[in-house]
Copies of this chain bind each other. A is one copy, B any other.
Amino acid sequence: MEIRKGLGLQALPSMTLLRELTDQIVLDTVFEQAPITRAEIAQQTGISKTTVSEAVRRLEGAGLLLPAGEQRGRQGRVGTYYKVASTAGFVVAVDLNPTQIRLCAADLFGQPFLESAHPPVQPREPARVAEQLRELVSKAIAEGNPGRGRPLAVAVSVANPVDPATSRVIPLADTPYPEGLIQPQEALDGLIDAPILVENDVNLAAIAERWHGAARTADSFAYVYIGAGMGMGLLIGDQLIRGARGVAGEIGYLSVSSQPPGPLHGRHGFARAIAAAGFHPSREPGSDQVAVDVARQVFDRAAKGNAEAKAVVEEEGRTIGEAIAAVCAVVDPELVLLGGPIGLHPALLEPVRATVQDLAPLPPAIEVGTLGDAAVLHGALALALRRARADLWAGVSRQPS
């Protein structure tokens, strides 16, 4: 029973199941190692040459694989390279955040053919931002459409938690931003016949670091985002821990014992730094961006030796370290990565490490993320790609040609 679920399809034992399995393995292999010949596929997968050839024939017939030149320069018969057809489809990733809307469209290899950033429309009302989102995605699809097949998945990154059951954005009570009130599923409704994946931005950054970044080898790891808010993305194995209601990783709430409750909670992990600089965050648009800049200035001063600023950084590091220590006590990750505009600041790493060293049961490795501010969009793209590839395969096996 569990096995059947694990396969993620109607896994009754049957000839069809066997064929789908072979096709999927062959397709995956080509994805990862194109260009590749049938003989190489066979050798690597352990599947016999004949069977591989059959699978390739099916996949080529379905328009998913294409010949890609000849294998020359060695003894023996000339082999035919294969690759995934560039017309097989494409994906779109969108990062919907208060500062800007970033968009990336890429083919199934992850090769982008469109990248753009846009300031949010003014005035920033939910309905207008939703419309802007729809328009941008629509344009991206039009861009991809002539030669790249059809859109296979769209991933949208949002700054809010997302309900894992319904994939709906959970509006936070104190959100000052209209982005938190948009439901991308609705905004893009009817635009495409492909899954619309909505996910929290920090979770996506975590996915990016895990699949393609500094956490590639870590089996369990936590990505701690420190910027206009403080949040965490948690990956155990290849599984993203979303929580029952999608609020896993809201570690801003952990600092409750050292900070008074209030609207800052869950949003301003570096509250002291900005307060020390005489800045008070408000609900004004752009406030977060300003706050981040202010905090960064404090951190820079600390790096230059300013004692007062240093003390502030120390204290912030301790707060963050306490949160990380709590995470360690709960899930004991192998690695913790810091990210976000504040988290990437080099002055922060040491105080955080020191605190965690002091408090955690068994302190993990703590490093800084390598993907920088590209992590979120990168993660969204990766998520869309994975889904697109899986669906591609399902599409093939549904209509065996």
A interface residue numbers (CB < 8 A to B): 1-4, 6-8, 11-15, 17-19, 21-22, 24-25, 28, 45-47, 51, 218-220, 232, 234, 236-239, 241-254, 256-258, 266, 322, 325-335, 359-362, 364
Tell me whether A243 and B18 are in contact (CB under 8 A): no
Closest B residue to A244 using CB positions: B334
CB of B251 within 8 A of CB of A329, answer yes
B266 touches A12 (CB 8 A): no
Nearest-neighbor residue (CB-CB) of A393 within chain B: B3
In the complex, what's the smallest C-beta–C-beta distance from A40 to chain B, in angstroms?
16
**Once the chains are docked, how many angstroms separate the CA of A18 from the CA of B13?**
6
Could you tell me if B248 and A332 are in contact, using CB atoms closer than 8 angstroms? Answer: yes
Q: Which residues of B contact A2 (CB under 8 A)?
A: 238
Say how far A354's CB is from chain B's closest CB, in angstroms.
Answer: 15
- Within the complex, what minimum Cβ distance (angstroms) separates A52 from chain B? 11
The CA-CA distance from A243 to B332 in the complex, in Å, is 4
Given contacts A241-B236, A244-B220, contact A254 B46 (CB under 8 A): no
Cβ of A323 to closest chain B Cβ, rounded Å? 9
A–B pairs, 20, beta carbons within 8 Å: A3-B8, A3-B24, A6-B6, A6-B7, A13-B19, A13-B25, A13-B51, A220-B244, A234-B330, A243-B332, A248-B330, A249-B330, A250-B361, A251-B330, A253-B359, A254-B326, A254-B330, A326-B326, A326-B330, A327-B330
A42 to chain B: closest CB distance in Å? 11
> Which residues of the partner chain B approach A326 to less than 8 Å between Cβ atoms?
254, 326, 329-330
Question: What distance in Å separates the Cβ of A316 from its nearest Cβ neighbour in chain B?
Answer: 16
Q: How far is the CB of A273 from chain B (nearest CB, A)?
A: 20
Q: Are A13 and B22 in contact (CB under 8 A)?
A: yes
Q: Considering the chains assembled together, what is the distance between the CA atoms of A326 and B322 in angstroms?
A: 11
Per the bound structure, the CA–CA distance linking A367 and B234 in Å amounts to 26
Q: Which residues of B contact A246 (CB under 8 A)?
A: 332
| Residues in chain B near residue A218, CB distance under 8 A | 244
Q: Is the CB of B325 within 8 A of A253?
A: yes
B245 near A12: Cβ-Cβ < 8 Å = no
Give CA–CA (A3, B20) in the complex, Å: 11
**Complex Cα gap A219–B241 (Å):** 12
Determine the distance from Cα of A256 to Cα of B322 in the docked complex, in whole angstroms. Answer: 9
CA distance A361 to B327 in the complex (A): 15
A2 CA to B28 CA, complexed, in Å: 10
Asked, given contacts A244-B220, A327-B330, A330-B326, whether A256 binds B6 with beta carbons under 8 Å apart, the answer is no
- Complex Cα–Cα for A318 and B237 (A): 33
Nearest chain B CB to A171 CB, angstrom units: 13
- Interfacial chain B residues near A248, Cβ < 8 Å: 330-332
Q: Can you name 6 extra interface pairs (CB under 8 A) apart from A3-B21, A17-B21, A247-B332?
A: A3-B24, A11-B21, A12-B45, A241-B331, A245-B334, A327-B330
Bound-state CA distance A1–B238 (Å) is 13
- A352 → chain B, closest Cβ, in Å? 16
Q: How far is the CA of A327 from the CA of B241 in the complex (A)?
A: 13
**How far does the alpha carbon of A241 sit from the alpha carbon of B327 in the complex, in Å?**
13
A258 and B3 CA atoms in complex are apart in Å by 46
| Smallest CB separation, A168 vs chain B (Å) | 14
Give the CA-CA distance A246 to B45 in the complex, in Å.
34
Pair B3/A13 contact, Cβ less than 8 Å: no
**A327: nearest chain-B partner, CB-CB:** B330
| Closest-CB distance, A349 to chain B (whole angstroms) | 20
